[in-house]
Amino acid sequence: MSFITGTTIVVITTNRLYEINSSRIMEHIWLNKGISRIAVAENLELDRSTITKVARTLIACDFIKTTGKYRGKPGAGRLATSLEINADFALILGIELQTEYIKTVLIDMAGTVRATAHLPFTGDTADLLPSLRTCILLAKNEAAQFGIRIAGIGIGLSGIVDTYEGTIINSHPLGIHQPLALGPLLEKETGIPVYIENDANCCCWGELAFRPAVTDRNILALLGEFRNIDIGSNRMAGTAFGLGVAIRKTVFHGDSFTAGEFRSLLYDHKNPSHCQFSLTDEEARQLPGNRELLHRLFEELALNISLLVNCLDITQIIIAGDYARYCPEIGELLEANIQKNWIYQNKKKCRIQPSPDAENAVCMGAAGLFLRKLFTVPGMTDHTEEQVGSILLDRVFTSLGIRAETDATAI
């Protein structure tokens, strides 16, 4: 099959068409638990034989399962068989990498949490790989107790990350100032597909993966934490803040993967500090205990964010990390500033809420990143050659030792 766009002839091979349509089928079943083959065929405008052949392969590999029969349309003769993703097919490991700890979560294919862990971490670059190896080994042992293996790993951390290459470009908190291909390193060691992502972006992925009903919204994730920050060789108390931006079903990274990096418009350049806001280092050390300074911080945050909300037409704000505990106060300030800076008479609508994943927002989002990539159609991301959907599933099958018999001529 081929078509012309401009002066370029685009050729879609039979195998590529199979990857696209099988991924569409996977995604549709994932989003519509208990749907029938007939309904999938009608909704995607594909031949029923195509659905049957793809479903047969995925059922044989235990990736999807049948869940009983029901009468589809009124007056229909045969009972329809419902399909859904097999929650016990495999587990996904989500990891949050902090300067003082590593937090992990194991979820099944339905997004249900099976296990969590909280491990100490020195924050030293030299301990990064050994600590992650320990986390992965512990997670494998935990998964073995369920009799299920790990299909994928997602890691969220503070810094500039090329998530498509699995490379940490720069991370001040972790002391990484030269590109580190962490994803490929871990994938080579474990044989498991690995994704690396900025922690605030992970909060967006959690929304896209576990709450797909709201993915028609433009989402802003506000990740704020009170922690020890490694600045050079000195560690000082303070606050760290980052943004995640999702436009429709895509997390926005920017051309240099720096989207979401934040510094307040009120930052005092004449008296520079390590804080991203106008607070001095001494003031930042008093957070969150000093309520007056905390309120000042949140007022400044709301002023900055209101500009983005109105310019980008953001309709949902998720507050995550330590800041989630202060959601009522932050939400009130955000609402006031958004309306104050809105130029039209009608009220600007923007839903503001704490992350439903609470303190696990980053590690859940890291796992959700992998899950969302697994149920994405190839060629539909901003990196058209990204290995997602059925292509990623083939990698999972390989890592799990599953041989899938596919028939590309069926599409």
Pick out the chain residues at pLDDT < 70.
Answer: 1-13, 69-79, 213-216, 228-237, 381-382, 405-411
Residues 267 and 124 reside in one and the same domain: no
pLDDT of residue 6: 47
Residue with tokens 């943004």: 243
Contact at 8 Å (CB) between 373 and 24? Answer: no
Residues 313 and 171 reside in one and the same domain: no
In the chain, the number of structural domains is: 3
Residues 191 and 221 reside in one and the same domain: no
Instruction: Tell me the pTM.
Output: 0.90
Dihedrals φ, ψ of 262, to 5°?
-125, 140
271 vs 266: CA distance, rounded Å: 12
Domain CATH number, residue 25: 1.10.10.10
Residues 74 and 111 reside in one and the same domain: no
Residue with tokens 């089928």: 25
CA distances from 63 to 59, 92, 404 (A): 6, 14, 10
pLDDT of residue 79: 67
Residues 154 and 289 reside in one and the same domain: no
The pairing of beta strand 150-157 with beta strand 91-97: parallel
pLDDT of residue 389: 95
Segment holding 143, helix H or strand E: helix 128-146
Contact at 8 Å (CB) between 95 and 103? Answer: yes
Residues 98 and 166 reside in one and the same domain: yes
Domain CATH number, residue 140: 3.30.420.40
pLDDT of residue 228: 64
Give domain status of residue 319, yes or no.
yes
293 vs 374: CA distance, rounded Å: 43
Give domain status of residue 136, yes or no.
yes
Domain interval for residue 263: 210-361
Give domain status of residue 214, yes or no.
yes
Angle at 245 between CA 120 and CA 206, to 5 degrees: 50
Residues 114 and 75 reside in one and the same domain: no
Identify which of 213, 208, 181, 177 has the alpha carbon closest to the alpha carbon of residue 194: 181
Give domain status of residue 395, yes or no.
no
The residue type of 392 is: L
Residue with tokens 């290459």: 165
pLDDT of residue 212: 75
Residues 15 and 146 reside in one and the same domain: no
